[in-house]
Amino acid sequence: MAQTFESLKKYPETSEEMVQKAIQQAAEIVKGNLGDFTESFQSPNTENGFYWPTENVEWTTGFWTGVVWLAYELTKDEAFRKTGEIHVESFLNRIEKKIDVNYHDMGFLYSLSCVAAYKLCGSEKGKKAAIMAADHLLTRYREKGEFIQAWGNVGDPKDYRLIIDCLLNLPLLYWATEVTGNSEYADKACRHIHTAMQCVLREDHSTYHTYYIDPDTGKPSYGVTHQGNRNGSAWARGQAWGVYGVALSYRYQQKPEYIQMFRDVTDYFIEHLPEDLIPYWDFDFDTGSTEPRDSSSSAIVICGIYEMLPHLEKEEAEKYRMAADKMLCALIEKCAVKDKKESNGLLLHGTYARSSEENTCKNRGVDECNTWGDYFYLEALRRRQGKWNPYW
Ligand code: GLY
């Protein structure tokens, strides 16, 4: 265990000025990117510090659109809104034509692009696309086991599993219930989080990345990793998806048991932070390791903590606020891009995937920016500024 809430007290905190400067630097980079990434999207990660243009494919394009909407909120610059609206057209086309959507990541894609457009600008196209995406996500719900199947063809026994990342896709379903009045979306989201947390949360409060369900009985079978170092280790980003995912479900459902889950997964994350507060990509590694970091996991956890603060008693809220603030300060000081010649991203030192003996990944986006790291970093800065109505 590398840290405690007590040991965090020695680290510097953010100031209003530091946060304003960080927002300004980020907004400038985002503005500079609009030329390359309005008719196109950003690649999931940078290579040698730079994103390149892609089609609207993969699970990651919503993050760039989310960054654009955040920049619009922060600056009121109409150029961001125009880009956001062009992206909404693209996302509507994508879900209508079912382009590269045979997986669970509909919330990552549609909450940050289309729900955001609906909430910020009343976009009816955004609302339509997001409800279609929620309907599509429901088709992955499996009655046998009561969970949303992450990948592969639905029902296929070899892909009959859930993953912790999916908790971030549930707000799309809760939102769909709110706007349509159809409780099926939220009911299935609640069933999924119940199954998922029973499976992935270990006794020491670390988490499995993925968990297989027996397709015949619906009973949990066994956990394996996909992107972590070992089946039994805690992949930093998986743990982070747990933190924010539980907090977001609490926001919609207010189930008291989610508060304890939040404490469990968040404390594990915080206690395993290394000396400089920038997490390694897996908690098998600690201070002094030469393994790469995953700054994005820290940004995700900060947002999860901010989301949960209003629901905690004063003393406990202060403890978590302090932790989030120290982590944000470390990101600003050690990972934020400060010169656009260095990178066209916002947050350095992320890791998309790192190969290991027990996982099935190839190295991808190692020690680079990634679009979700950028998004959650900017969301964290926005949340640090004051009350925010989430796109989630
Ligand atoms: N949801 C996939 C990832 O976090 O890499």
Tell me the residue range of the domain where 38 lies: 5-385
Check the annotation: does 225 bind a ligand: yes
| Residue nearest atom 1 of ligand 1, based on CA coordinates | 165
The structure tokens listed for 383 are 């949340």
Whole-number Å distance between alpha carbons of 350 and 335: 9
Q: Is 165 a catalytic residue?
A: yes
Question: Burial letters for 63-75: b for 16+ Cβ neighbours within 10 Å, e otherwise?
Answer: bbbbbbbbbbbbb
117 is a domain residue: yes
Nearest-5° Cα angle at 219, 218 to 224: 110
Q: Which alpha helices (H) appear in 210-313, and where do they start and end?
A: 236-253, 256-271, 295-308
122 is a domain residue: yes
Q: Of ligand 1's atoms, which has the minimum distance to the CA of residue 372?
A: 4
Q: What is the pLDDT of residue 33?
A: 98
Spacing, Cα 175 to ligand 1 middle (Å): 22
43 is a domain residue: yes
Per DSSP, the three-state class of 310 is: helix
Whole-number Å distance between alpha carbons of 178 and 109: 19
Amino acid at 13: E
The CB of 165 under 6 Å from ligand 1? The reply is yes
Q: What is the pLDDT of residue 297?
A: 98
Check the annotation: does 165 bind a ligand: yes
DSSP string spanning 46-107?
A: -BTTB--EE-S-SS-HHHHHHHHHHHHHHH--HHHHHHHHHHHHHHHHHHHTT-S--SSTHH
- The enclosing domain of 336 has a CATH number of 1.50.10.10
147 is a domain residue: yes
> Among the options 36, 77, 100, 105, which is catalytic?
105
Nearest-5° Cα angle at 59, 387 to 211: 95
Flag whether the pTM goes above 0.85.
Answer: yes
> Among the options 165, 264, 282, 367, which is catalytic?
165
198 is a domain residue: yes
Give a three-class secondary structure readout of 154-181.
CCCHHHCEEEHHHHHHHHHHHHHHHHHC
Residues whose CB falls within 8 Å of the CB of residue 130, separated by 6 or more in sequence, listed in order: 110, 111, 114, 115, 118, 172, 175, 176
Q: Is 105 a catalytic residue?
A: yes
Instruction: Name which of 360, 220, 236 is nearest 301 in CA terms.
Output: 236
392 is a domain residue: no
Q: Of ligand 1's atoms, which has the minimum distance to the CA of residue 105?
A: 1
| Residue nearest atom 2 of ligand 1, based on CA coordinates | 165
Whole-number Å distance between alpha carbons of 170 and 189: 6
Q: Of ligand 1's atoms, which has the minimum distance to the CA of residue 352?
A: 5
The CB of 237 under 6 Å from ligand 1? The reply is yes
Could you list the pLDDT tens digit for every one of the 392 residues in the chain? 689 999 999 999 999 999 999 999 999 999 999 999 999 999 999 999 999 999 999 999 999 999 999 999 999 999 999 999 999 999 999 999 999 999 999 999 999 999 999 999 999 999 999 999 999 999 999 999 999 999 999 999 999 999 999 999 999 999 999 999 999 999 999 999 999 999 999 999 999 999 999 999 999 999 999 999 999 999 999 999 999 999 999 999 999 999 999 999 999 999 999 999 999 999 999 999 999 999 999 999 999 999 999 999 999 999 999 999 999 999 999 999 999 999 999 999 999 999 999 998 999 999 999 999 999 999 999 999 999 999 99
Number of domains in the chain: 1
391 is a domain residue: no
390 is a domain residue: no
Check the annotation: does 64 bind a ligand: no
Q: What is the pLDDT of residue 2?
A: 86
